[in-house]
Amino acid sequence: MLAGMILANLGGSMFYPFFAILLKQLGFEVDSIGLYFTIASIFPLLFQVIGGWVSDRIGRLRSIAFGSVAGALSWVGILLAPSMALPIVWFLASDALGAMTRSLVGPSFDAFVADQSGEESRGRIFAVVHMIFMVVGIAGPPLGGMIVERFGFPSLIRAGAGLYWSATVLRVIMARRAAAVPTPAAATRGPGTGLQGLADRRGERFPIIIGCLAIAGSVALFAFGRGIVAYAFAYAIFGASGGCFGPAMQSLITKVVPQRLRGLAFGFLSTSLGAFSFFAPAVGGLLWKRFFPTLPFLVSGAICGLAAIPVYLKYRVPPKTAASAASRGGATRTNDSAAGD
């Protein structure tokens, strides 16, 4: 499971940090690029809830395999787009397939991790998974930058596509084997990492608050900093904030959602986030162009900092509620094969 996710995310982390630069080279202006990302965000809104429902119906690993096939096809569109008369159409078609991929893979992967971990160690398990993805995120952009500088964007696209296609083959094999071999029972213990010992022992609210405040600080440092050292430090804080925020949020969700509905829950929440942030790329592009370039960063940082207030007031899970939610999930679907049936 993790090997396939690493390959797929490495390909994406190599390419997508430079995607806006590619659009710029193809003749798009900043406000047009922002509008493009707003249009592209329509597709996840359409597919996220459906993807979560499919995950609950056919099983986590099968859903991931189907999503990976769509993702493999999306890279074909990226490969062909720069040489086409209307590259924007090809990129949007690729984004539509990519949205199907994220809608099937994302909720399924989160639900799979929750299904295979005990409640008392779930924060740590999510933290380990996020830590692995962060390593991929660290390695991908520098590697992609070197490929672009030395060989150009076509080579970068081919490298990203090759990694993703390898991940697709691995996931399809994994899903076929899972149909015949049950996955292990849910874990009760997991390794600890960083501030997640905090989520499992003190609850998820405080890591989420720390993450919100750290995101605001990193954005402010990025907006007002000068030089590569300040930017690198800002990204380091941003990465640490994600390590605090993401696993704790996922752990909190799994404690209040029955196991049989976890895929649908993750898909619905992703759709909700997409709905709230739907116009953000276009607004950011307009703020950049009509006022000054740091304004989009300052606005987003202020919003993240203010988000800590409702988190502090409302993000509390009473122990009885968590226990009853876990019991409602039932013990009949403890592995992916059972869910696939």
Is the model's pLDDT at 328 over the cut of 70? Answer: no
Burial class (CB in 10 A: 0-12, 13-18, 19+), 310: exposed
Give percent of the chain with pLDDT exceeding 90: 1
pLDDT at 171: 83
Burial class (CB in 10 A: 0-12, 13-18, 19+), 320: exposed
pLDDT at 318: 55
Is the model's pLDDT at 319 over the cut of 70? Answer: no
Which of 16, 237, 247, 214 lies closest to 132, judged by CA? 247
- Following DSSP, what letter does each residue of 71-111 receive, concatenated? HHHHHHHHHHGGGSS-HHHHHHHHHHHHHHHHHHHHHHHHH
Is the model's pLDDT at 105 over the cut of 60? Answer: yes
Is the model's pLDDT at 200 over the cut of 70? Answer: no
Strand partners for 187 = 117
Cα–Cα distance measured from residue 197 to residue 203, given in angstroms and rounded to the nearest whole number: 10
Average pLDDT over residues 281-290: 78
Is the model's pLDDT at 321 over the cut of 50? Answer: no
Is the model's pLDDT at 93 over the cut of 60? Answer: yes
Reported as a pLDDT band with limits 50, 70 and 90, residue 28 is: confident
Is the model's pLDDT at 172 over the cut of 70? Answer: yes
Higher pLDDT, 73 or 40: 73
pLDDT at 59: 76
Reported as a pLDDT band with limits 50, 70 and 90, residue 68 is: confident
Is the model's pLDDT at 97 over the cut of 50? Answer: yes
- Following DSSP, what letter does each residue of 231-262 receive, concatenated? HHHHHHHHHHHHHHHHHHHHHHHHHHS-GGGH
Reported as a pLDDT band with limits 50, 70 and 90, residue 52 is: confident
Asked if residues 74 and 95 have their Cβ atoms less than 8 Å apart, the reply is yes
pTM for the whole structure: 0.60
Is the model's pLDDT at 55 over the cut of 70? Answer: yes
User: Of 125-134, 171-180, 182-191, 226-235, which range is least confident?
Assistant: 182-191
Is the model's pLDDT at 333 over the cut of 50? Answer: no
- pLDDT, one tens digit per residue, over 236-277 is 888 777 767 777 777 777 777 776 776 666 766 766 666 666
Is the model's pLDDT at 35 over the cut of 50? Answer: yes
pLDDT at 307: 82
Higher pLDDT, 300 or 204: 300
Burial class (CB in 10 A: 0-12, 13-18, 19+), 179: middle
CA atoms within 13 Å, Cβ hemisphere of 142: 5
Sorted by where each starts, the structural domains of the chain and their CATH numbers stand as 1-181 (1.20.1250.20), 194-256+291-329 (no CATH)
Sign of CA dihedral 22, 25, 30, 31: negative
User: Of 56-70, 223-237, 238-252, which range is least confident?
Assistant: 238-252
Reported as a pLDDT band with limits 50, 70 and 90, residue 330 is: very low
Is the model's pLDDT at 188 over the cut of 60? Answer: no
> What is the average pLDDT value for the chain, to the nearest integer?
75
Give percent of the chain with pLDDT exceeding 70: 76
Cα–Cα distance measured from residue 23 to residue 20, given in angstroms and rounded to the nearest whole number: 5
